[in-house]
Amino acid sequence: MNKFNYYMPTKLVFEDGAIQQLGELVTGDSLLMMCDPFLYKNGMAEEVAKQTGISNVVYFHEIEPNPSCQTVDKATALARENNVNVVIGLGGGSAMDASKMVACLIDNDGSILDYYSSGDRELEPRKAQLICIPTTAGTGSEVTNIGVYTNKDTGIKMPFASPYFWPDIALVDAGLTHTLPAHITASTGMDAFTHAIEAYWSVNANPISDALSISVIRTILDNIETAVKDPTNVEARKNMAFASVTAGISFSQTKTTAIHAVSFPLTVDFGASHGLACSITLPAFTKFVYPGNVDKMDYLMNILGYDSIDAFVERLRSVMTNIGLQTQLSELGVKETDLDHIVDVSMKAALINFTPVKVTRENLYTLLKSIL
Ligand SMILES: [Fe+2]
């Protein structure tokens, strides 16, 4: 067994009704609640804020999918004006990712752009308490030190990692996912699946991430179709919430690989949701990586009860069809003439180097063309 490190400093509270514990968990007296417009309008943000017992609350409810650097700066200004010392990111990956950067920038001068992308400044330690509360089962952002931000001026979407991004608390309450629409349950659930399988085949995998990933892969294959088709099935929802946070812990140790690298241009340029942009290449990449990791992938097939990698890939395709996800890039509006651009952008993502088979311009183009 090779040497490895494992580091996960976030306190995880996993319980139905966990938001009722917020009053005991918060440590400050001035709260910034960050969410999308929908969670503000439907009252969930206010309900969660009320549970903290903090009376000094400001809301930033303009978080968009693929949060922009400009949105992060706007929320940071609000937080600084109000001397915020507790930040809650409530929602999917976008709200939680944005909350991580904002919580750090409150006590770091300047804009996100000074630290991210071409910025040359290092973040100083975060002082504000950071609590992440997922309302989808998929992103795992509540247990990672990574945020993904899009610079609207350049159109570049990039992940950013910081030791100060680990939330202090990840509060996972499966009850918050019961009202998720079917298509979001489907796409976010498959996002979690790609986290688990990419962590498993990543060149950075370790025995702990492997154990977590195997558990997640099995749990999602057993539960995602039920969670999509029977949204009030409490057990399936709880299992998906557990799979999502467990996949997050797994890939927090390993990072993701080529699937996530390719997802960036598919979301930015073709408007696909993150989960769909990941799952659409999942079957093809599963076959692609197999030769680089034969023994390990065969071990996984054996545990899951598949005779061959082809049978497993067939099952992935049928799950995606059963839960209503597209399986061909043309269904996202991608044309053959777009493939060079997708390859160019994907090859720039550092994550691609964690794939166990060397990804080249040529083999990536061929892979993408095969699922056009
Ligand atoms: Fe993801």
Report pLDDT digits (tens) over 44-78.
Answer: 999 999 999 999 999 999 999 999 999 999 999 99
Any alpha helices (H) in the chain, and if so which ranges?
A: 22-25, 37-41, 44-52, 69-81, 93-105, 182-201, 207-229, 234-254, 258-270, 274-279, 282-289, 294-304, 309-322, 339-348, 361-370
In a domain, 3, yes or no: no
Ligand 1 centroid from CA 106, angstroms: 26
Ligand 1 centroid from CA 103, angstroms: 21
- Do 109 and 222 belong to one domain? no
> How far apart (Å, rounded) are the C-alpha atoms in residues 320 and 164?
36
C-beta separation of 257 from 354 below 8 A:
yes
pTM: 0.94
Ligand 1 centroid from CA 275, angstroms: 6
C-beta separation of 265 from 341 below 8 A:
yes
> How far apart (Å, rounded) are the C-alpha atoms in residues 191 and 204?
19
- Final residue of a structural domain among 176, 206, 241: 176
Ligand 1 centroid from CA 286, angstroms: 16
Ligand 1 centroid from CA 188, angstroms: 8
Q: Rounded mean pLDDT of the chain?
A: 96
Which tokens hold the place of 208? 């702990």
Ligand 1 centroid from CA 304, angstroms: 23
**pLDDT tens digits for range 230-256:** 999 999 999 999 999 999 999 999 999
> How far apart (Å, rounded) are the C-alpha atoms in residues 7 and 17?
27
Ligand 1 centroid from CA 261, angstroms: 10
> How far apart (Å, rounded) are the C-alpha atoms in residues 279 and 54?
40
- Using DSSP's 3-state secondary structure scheme, residue 267 falls into helix
Ligand 1 centroid from CA 271, angstroms: 15
**pLDDT tens digits for range 136-181:** 999 999 999 999 999 988 888 888 999 999 999 999 999 999 889 9
In a domain, 140, yes or no: yes
Ligand 1 centroid from CA 146, angstroms: 11
C-beta separation of 203 from 286 below 8 A:
no
C-beta separation of 87 from 131 below 8 A:
yes
> How far apart (Å, rounded) are the C-alpha atoms in residues 134 and 247?
14
**pLDDT tens digits for range 283-305:** 999 999 999 999 999 999 999 99
In a domain, 239, yes or no: yes
Ligand 1 centroid from CA 194, angstroms: 7
| Structural domain range at position 303 | 189-370
Ligand 1 centroid from CA 329, angstroms: 18
- Do 220 and 344 belong to one domain? yes
Which residues are within 5 Å of ligand 1 (an ion), measured at CB?
A: 191
- Do 172 and 193 belong to one domain? no
Ligand 1 centroid from CA 83, angstroms: 32
- Do 161 and 129 belong to one domain? yes
